Structure 1
Amino acid sequence: MAYSSAAKQYKKNQIETASPKQLVILLYEGAIKFIRLGELALENNDYGKVNTNLIKAQDIVTELMVSLNHQNGENAIASELQALYSYILNQLIQANLKKDQDKMAETRRLMSELLEAWTSI
């Protein structure tokens, strides 16, 4: 129990002290983790866990969408990311409704590519 509490406190501190770039990276990592957990749950026919984890991933993608900055000359980049996030969100919803392993894998791959791009900046 103490380990769990310490881990939660560490994660809280990590989030509270992160730069905006680090926060985006943490969000990508979280989405990837939850999609992967959804895939593993599907392999075990645990549809409740599939649903729970994919909803968490959907929430993260939604947070990424609403945090886009459409000001300061970044409108083109923000618009491209908005379209990509919208696509990913739709695919996650469809993956959850249909329990579709391929859609989960596709969204995880896209999020991994975005994570790689952000970490290289």
Structure 2
Amino acid sequence: MIGGNSVNPSEIYQRNQVTTARPEELTLMLYNGGIKFLQQAKAAIDKKDIAKAHSHITRVQDIVTELMVTLNMDYEISKTILPLYEYMKRRLIEANMAKDSEILNEIEGMFQELRTTWAQAMKQAKSV
């Protein structure tokens, strides 16, 4: 205990990862987090835990918002990705309202593709 609050070592580790990560690593973490929360949301829907499903879907919406805000619009690719993020966010709102796992599957597929592409780009950038 520190200052009367219990300290979770996992939370400290995660916080340190985020604060020391390079921007490209943060983007990869956002994609990974989106996938994790989508999977948790689908599990909550299956269990009929509406509150948890809402919470997890909202976390994914926040991740998509962060991805949108951090896009560098100086690059042409960003002008292509922004509408994709906007679509994802709109679909997440629909999924949250209907607690629809099929929509979440669609968005998870998009997150997985984006993560894979981003990881490959990171590897290529390191080898240059």
TM-score by length of 2: 0.88
Percent identity (aligned): 36
The structure 1 residue matched to 2:10, chosen from 7, 11, 26, is 7
Computed over aligned residues only, the root mean square deviation of the Cα atoms, in angstroms, reads 1.4
Match of 2:86 in 1: 86
CA distance in 2, matches of 1:28, 1:13: 18
Kindly provide the CA deviation profile for residues 47-76 of structure 1, in whole angstroms up to 9, marking residues without a partner as x: 0011000000000000100111112xx1x2
* Equivalence for 2:103: 103
Matched residue, 2:60:
57
| 2:8 match: secondary structure | helix
Task: Work out whether 1:68 is the aligned partner of 2:98.
Answer: no
Distance 1:105 1:70 in 2: 28
Give the number of aligned pairs. Answer: 117
Amino acid at match of 1:34: F
Partner of 2:126: none
Q: Secondary structure at the match of 2:31?
A: helix
4+ residue runs of structure 1 moved beyond 3 angstroms? Answer: none
| Cα distance in 1 for residues equivalent to 2:64 and 2:10 | 24
Paired residue for 2:27? 24
Whichever of the two has the greater Rg, that structure is: 2
Q: CA deviation at 1:101?
A: 1.0
